[in-house]
Amino acid sequence: MVSPAFDPLAVTQAQALWYVAPGAAELRAEPLSAPDAGQVRVRSLFSALSRGTESLVFAGKVPEAEFTRMRAPFMGGAFPFPVKYGYASVGVVQSGPADLLGRCVFSLTPHQDFFNLAVDAVSAIPEGLPPERAVLAANMETALNAVWDAAPGPGDRIAVVGGGVLGCLVAFLCGHLPGAEVTLVDINPERAALATNLGVHFAMPEAAPTDCDLVFHTSASGAGLTTALALAGEEATVLELSWYGSHSVSAPLGGAFHSKQLRLQSSQVGHVSATRRPRFTYRRRLGVALGLLQDKRLDALLASPIVFKDLPQLLPKILGQPSGILCQLIRYS
């Protein structure tokens, strides 16, 4: 007896993760209509937690003044709660244009097992890129934009303060510059092996190289920002990538800050870097970011996957401080 072919459009209900109160999340069922013309139906394979941002969402610490800017492209609900949040999803197209049918795609979609999305809101994953690693696309896009903003050069002495996913990706990109001396700086000595794997140096804050030509800060802590400013050389730039949410941080702007004429600059992925804006669309930038993930050394950033149905009860441990987890993979099937 031949089994009938599976009809992807027979799925009429999706399961999605919703943050519902400080420190609480749950899976909710929601109706899933047939995709409209110009949409694809996607079955999720993997998604990833963005530790920095989603920790703030989970704790209810998104500042009211940032409610609009903090909205993810396809989030549901409204801050502070309940909200369906996330922006690192990889799935397979089950219904849509012939050139996408059966292809693995990346999208800025919350944690959900099935969804419909406009064709131009998904990006096909390059041939040979594992879907697990492709979840790093949003982080790589942020790192790429930061490197464009900072404009490092060959031979530069570069420090990256903060060995989370974003800091590691920035260090990885800068490590490809000829003759550049790149050091990942973190308070966790276990990040040393990771730095070596990525092809860069490692140092604890007290042993980090000073007189740097460029410093990136990604630790989201006042102590990290203090370290970043201390490592910068004369007239150097400290590029701030941290998102602090509702927290205020103090920065040591006395001492040598003025005499060294340091430049403290922010970088944010919501805007294409001014150095590329006239030529790069968001879609082109994301395509470049996906291509930059074609290096198996980046698998070291990925934690062993957890099952989607277990996500609500595991979130406190994953997002807790310190958990040691870099990029938490979520598996859907």
**Model confidence over 260-271: pLDDT tens digits?**
999 999 999 999
Q: Find residue 106's DSSP bridge partners.
A: 90, 123
180-181-186 Cα angle (round to 5) = 135
294 vs 69: which has the higher pLDDT: 294
Mean pLDDT of the 33-40 span: 96
> According to the model, what pLDDT value does residue 324 have?
80
Do residues 204 and 224 make contact, with C-beta atoms less than 8 angstroms apart? no
- Please state which of the ranges 84-88, 243-247, 267-271, 310-314 shows the lowest mean pLDDT: 243-247
Q: Which residue has the tokens 């519902």?
A: 20
Alpha carbon distances (Å) from 106 to 47, 109, 121, 134: 9, 9, 9, 7
Do residues 170 and 239 make contact, with C-beta atoms less than 8 angstroms apart? no
φ, ψ for residue 86, nearest 5 deg: 140, 160
Give 203-250 pLDDT, tens digit per residue. 999 999 999 999 999 999 999 999 999 999 999 999 999 988 767 888
Look up residue 28 and give its two tokens: 């909710």
Mean pLDDT of the 46-75 span: 92
Q: Which domains does the chain have, with CATH numbers?
A: 8-136+293-331 (3.90.180.10), 139-266 (3.40.50.720)
Indicate the residue type of 332. Answer: Y
Mean pLDDT of the 273-290 span: 97
> According to the model, what pLDDT value does residue 306 have?
97
* Mean of all residue pLDDT scores within the chain: 94
Omega within 30 of 0 (cis) for the link into 209: no
Look up residue 115 and give its two tokens: 């969804």
> According to the model, what pLDDT value does residue 3 have?
47
> According to the model, what pLDDT value does residue 6 have?
62
Residue 103, number of CB atoms within 10 A of its CB? 16
Give 91-137 pLDDT, tens digit per residue. 999 999 999 999 999 999 999 999 999 999 999 999 999 999 999 99
CA 187 to chain centre: 21
> According to the model, what pLDDT value does residue 266 have?
95
pTM, to two decimals: 0.94
Distance between the two ends of the chain, CA-based, in angstroms? 26
Share of the chain above pLDDT 90, in %: 87
φ, ψ for residue 143, nearest 5 deg: -65, -45
> According to the model, what pLDDT value does residue 1 have?
42
> According to the model, what pLDDT value does residue 323 have?
67
122: which residues sit within 8 A by CB, 6+ positions away? 40, 42, 93, 100, 105, 106, 107
| DSSP 3-state of 260 | coil
Q: Is the pLDDT of residue 195 over 90?
A: yes
CA dihedral 183, 186, 188, 189 (to 10 degrees): 20
Give 135-184 pLDDT, tens digit per residue. 999 999 999 999 999 999 999 999 999 999 999 999 999 999 999 999 99
